[in-house]
Amino acid sequence: MSAPQINISDVASLARLTLTREETEKFSSQLGQILSHMDSLKQIEMGDVPEVTPPAQPNLRKDVPVPSLTLQAALSNAPAQANDLILVPKIVE
């Protein structure tokens, strides 16, 4: 089976990216090539291979509150803020 045609604009929109026409053309051909390479995986016989386990078992700490970033530190990089809140464009009509 050949690599699927990837609809770059749709996928870009899912990723919240807007591409220029040049980027769309370039990425279409480059990603087509990359996906063809990835299609080589289809030839690998899998048999009964289980889903892969995580690369490390998580060592969770006890669920107790510990000091964290101060409000001031957490807001220190916000592009726009007021009253200890981050300002964003209106999202509710």
Partner 1 sequence: MSLAHESIASLRRRLAAKEIRCRDIVQDLLQQIDAREKTIHAYTHVDREAALAAAEKADPTLPLGGIPIAIKDNLNVLGDPCTCASKILDGYKAPYDATAIARLRQAGAIFLGRTNMDEFAMGSSTENSALGITRNPWDSSRIPGGSSGGSAAAVGGRIALAALGSDTGGSIRQPAALCGCVGLKPTYGRISRYGLVAFASSLDQIGPLTRTVEDSAILLSALAGHDPHDNTTDLRKPESFLTKPDASVKGLRVGIPKEYFIPGMDAETEAAVRQSAEWFKKNGATLVDISLPHTPSAIAVYYILATAEASANLARFDGVRYGRRAADPRDVLDLYHRTRSEGFGPEVKRRIILGTFVLSAGYTDAYYRKAQKVRGLIRQDFGKAFASCDLLLTPTSPEPAFKLGERTQDPLKMYLADVFTISVNLAGNPAISLPCGFTKSNLPIGLQLIGPRFGEEKILQAGHSYEQAHDWHKRLPPT
Q: Does 60 bind partner 1 (CB under 8 A)?
A: yes
Tell me how far, at minimum, the Cβ of 82 lies from partner 1, in Å. 14
Phi first, then psi, for residue 41 (nearest 5°) are -65, -25
HSE (side-chain half, CA atoms, 13 Å) at 93? 0
| Binding flag, residue 74, partner 1 (CB under 8 A) | yes
Question: What proportions of the chain, in percent to the nearest 5, are helix, strand and coil?
Answer: 40, 5, 60
Binding residues for partner 1, rule: CB under 8 A, are 4, 6, 8, 11-12, 14-19, 23, 26-27, 30-31, 33-34, 37-38, 40-42, 44, 46, 49-56, 58-61, 66, 69, 73-74, 76-80, 86, 88-91
